[in-house]
Structure 1
Amino acid sequence: MKEITAKELEQKLVKGEKVNLIDVREVDEVEQGAIPGIIHIPLGLLEFRMNELSKKDSYVIVCRSGGRSGRATQFLDSQGYDVTNMTGGMLAWEGEIN
C-alpha cells in the first residue's frame, strides 16, 4: 500500500500541486474540519460511490488517524484505483482546514 505523511501532502498542496483527496470520515467528523477541496465519501458508502472516481486519476485517502483510510486504500487498490493512504490522518494534519 502506498503511503504519504500529512506533512508531505501539505507540502504538495502548498506548492500548488493538484491532489485528489477523499475523506472517508463520518459527517460529524468532517464538520469539525477538513482539508479544503477534499471529496467526502464516508467509508461505509465507498463501495457504492466508487463509480464517482476515475481510474485514470490518483487519490489520497484521509481519515481521523489512518486506520479507516488504510482500509479504504486497500479496497480501492483491489478495485484497480491508484490510491495512497495519508498516514496519521487528520490527527497529524497541521495544514489549513475549513
Structure 2
Amino acid sequence: MKEISVQELKEKLDKGEDFQLIDVREDFEYEMSNLGGTLIPLGGILIEVEKIDKTKPVVVMCRSGKRSAAAIMQLEQHGFTNLANLKGGILAWAAEVDPTINVY
C-alpha cells in the first residue's frame, strides 16, 4: 500500500496540487478537527464509492492511519489504483505540522 507522510501532504496542499483528500473518520471526529477533505466514514466507504475520484491521486486519512489503511484495502478490491494512506493520520499532522489542531 502506498503511503504519504504529513510533510508530503502539506507540500501538496501548499502547491495547490490536484488531488482528492478523503477522511474516513466519524462525523464527530471530523467536526472536532479536519484538513478540509471529503468526509466518508469507513463504515460507508463502499456505499459512497462514487464520491471517490479514479482519475487523480487520492489521499485517504483518519486519526492514526489504521482506518484509512482498511478503507484502501476495501477500495483496491473495487479497482482503485490511485490511493495513498496518510501515515500517522491527523495525530501525525498535529505532531509534525500544526500543533494547534484539536486531537483526541
The corresponding residue for 2:25 is: 25
Aligned length: 96
The normalised TM-score by structure 2 is 0.84
Percent same amino acid at aligned positions?
A: 43
Q: Which has the higher strand share?
A: 1
The structure 1 segments of at least 4 consecutive aligned residues displaced by more than 3 Å after TM superposition are: none
8 Å CA contact 2:61–2:85 kept in 1: the answer is: yes
Q: Which runs of 5+ in 2 are unaligned?
A: none
* Aligned residue runs from structure 1 range 79-94, under 5 A: 79-81=78-80, 82-93=82-93, 94=97
How far residue 16 of structure 1 moved from its aligned partner, in angstroms, is 1.6
Q: Does 1:11 align with 2:14?
A: no
Aligned-partner residue type, residue 5 of structure 1:
S
Find the aligned partners of 1:22 and 1:6 in 2 and give their Cα distance. 14
The corresponding residue for 2:34 is: 34
Structure with bigger RCO (C-alpha 8 Å, 6+ apart)? 1
Query: Alpha carbons of 1:16 and 1:52: their partners in 2 closer, same or farther (altered >3 Å)?
Result: closer
Q: Does 1:54 align with 2:50?
A: no
